[in-house]
Amino acid sequence: MSDSTSNIISTILGGLGATVYATVGGIALTIVLAFLAGLAMLSRSRTVRFISRVYVEGFRGTSEVVQLFWLYFVLPALVGFKLVPLFAGIVVLGLNHGAYGAEIVRGAVQSVPPAQREGAVALSFSPAQRMFRVILPQAVVEMLPPFNNLFIQLMKSTALLYFISAGEITEKGELLRPVYGSQLVLIYGVELLCYLAIAVIITIVMRVLERVLSRRLGRAAPKRQNVWARAGAA
Amino acid sequence: MEWNWSYVWESIPLLLKGLLVTVELTLLGSAVAYVLGLVLALLRRARIPVLSQLVYLFIEVVRSTPLLIQVFFIFYLLWPALGITPSAFLTGVLALGIHYATYTSEVYRAGIDAIPKGQWEAATALSLPRSRVWTGIILPQAVPRLLPALGNYMISMFKETPLLLSIGVLEVLNRAKEQGAATFQVIEPYTLAGILFLLISYPSSILVRRLERRVGQL
């Protein structure tokens, strides 16, 4: 391998850490916010429903890049301190995808057959027991395929952190471009392979989770599929 | 720093100019995505051995990798390799169109698969030519049901256009950035950019939801 080739590959792989951090951190925040806002949208209190609606529509309605610019460039002007780029990125990725995830959680909880709820009432379960022992275990299995799509969407969005110089793959590649202009095929090729690999890993993890959780519910495990074939459209 | 209303009124004309570019990008990009998506869906169905697998691979690779890199790829690699220099705007339309075509192709595929088998059999019984089966029977039934999904992708595309500021397209966010750089006041232009997005995408998604309900009753 020539010097420039190994230099290109090692520089881009140097950004892999930041990309993985942003992806994992973003996914963790997404899960927390999606459950909070999704369950809040089903609350009996009008105020709680209203607040979660505002969060969901606000973050789904404005562009993700605009949110990133706002948090990174406007917030410092308002509060006087700047967030570390990678941290700011994780916050925006989580807030944005959490809003989309909230609809997934709400839809999945609503799709649990009403008889299940009635059965839990008949067994005089408390509302918390009803939710955590009966409704959610069934709803979570339904959420996994759409969450798989959402997480891959999130992983792709980490490329936007290029705009705030968080040191991830895309930024590394763009720093190499002026120097290694004749080797763009290699630069973009390595970047694409990194993203593809993460996407495949996310899909594999979600598939395994789906099999494990549906077996626990005593349901037939979903059929084995090609890892490339994600369920449904995003 | 404080919110300055006179600066807001000053910034609005410039941002609206950017919004027009954003809307143009979205409409042209969607047109590409809708046509190319149908082509991809039909190519995948066609029983041409290697081609349908290649189309499948193309769809999955484009869907699983960031749009931003695809923009860079076309702008810095593809155009120079072809020896042409189209504008950044055209690059944006093409990149958005190709990226979203991989999503719309899945929408078409699901819609075509949902057409009952009897319709195909009836067409065969009438010995209609293949092209007539598609244009006269299958697509007219499939497409109306797909409109909500296609509309949703147009809204997502609208919200992704700001990343084209990376190659210098003067859309809303880039105009806001320009304004901020000129005056060192970033709060108002960036906030306005967000509000402009909300003002268009929220009503649009309500319209799509209404369309969804109507299609559900078909």
Q: At what angle do helices B5-45 and B187-216 cross, to 10 degrees?
A: 40
Phi-psi region of B66 (alpha: psi -120 to 50; beta: other; left: phi over 0): beta
Q: Give the C-alpha distances (Å, rounded to integers) separating B201 from B2, B147, B155.
A: 28, 16, 6
Quick: pLDDT tens for A86-145.
Answer: 999 999 999 999 999 999 999 999 999 999 989 999 999 998 899 999 999 999 999 999
Stated pTM of the model: 0.92
Q: Is residue A227 pLDDT above 70, yes or no? A: no
CB spacing of A191 vs B69 below 8 angstroms:
yes
Q: Hey, are the CB atoms on A73 and B65 less than 8 Å from each other? A: no
How far does A32 lie from chain B, in Å, by closest CA?
23
Q: What confidence tens digit (pLDDT) does each residue in B75-130 have?
A: 999 999 999 999 999 999 999 999 999 999 999 999 999 999 999 999 989 998 98
What pLDDT was estimated at residue A2?
80
Compute the nearest-CA separation of B123 from chain A (Å).
Answer: 28
Å between B163 CA and nearest CA of chain A: 7
Closest to A189 (Cα-Cα) out of B69, B163, B80: B69
Residues 148-187 of A with CB under 8 A from B: 152, 156-160, 162-163, 170, 173-174, 177, 184-185
ipTM: 0.91
Section B15-40 average pLDDT:
97
Helix (H) or strand (E) holding A138: helix A136-157
- CB atoms inside a 10 Å sphere around CB B129: 10
pLDDT at A232: 43
pLDDT band at B1 (very low <50, low <70, confident <90, very high): low
User: What fold does the segment set A3-233 form as a domain?
Assistant: MetI-like fold (1.10.3720)
Separation between Cα atoms, residue A102 and residue A108, nearest integer Å: 10
Q: How would residue A233 be classed by pLDDT, with cut points 50, 70 and 90?
A: very low
Q: Is B2 exposed, middle or buried (0-12, 13-18, 19+ CB in 10 A)?
A: exposed
Q: How far is CA A72 from CA A75, B87, B193, in A?
A: 6, 29, 15
- Between CA A203 and CA A180 the distance in angstroms is 33
Residue B109 tokens read as 């595929």
- The shortest CB-CB distance from A66 to any of B56, B66, B162 is to B162
B166-174: average pLDDT: 96
Could you tell me which of B146, B151, B136 has the C-alpha nearest to residue B114? B146
Give the CA angle between residues A190, A191, A192 to the nearest 5°.
95
**Phi and psi (nearest 5°) for A189?**
-60, -45
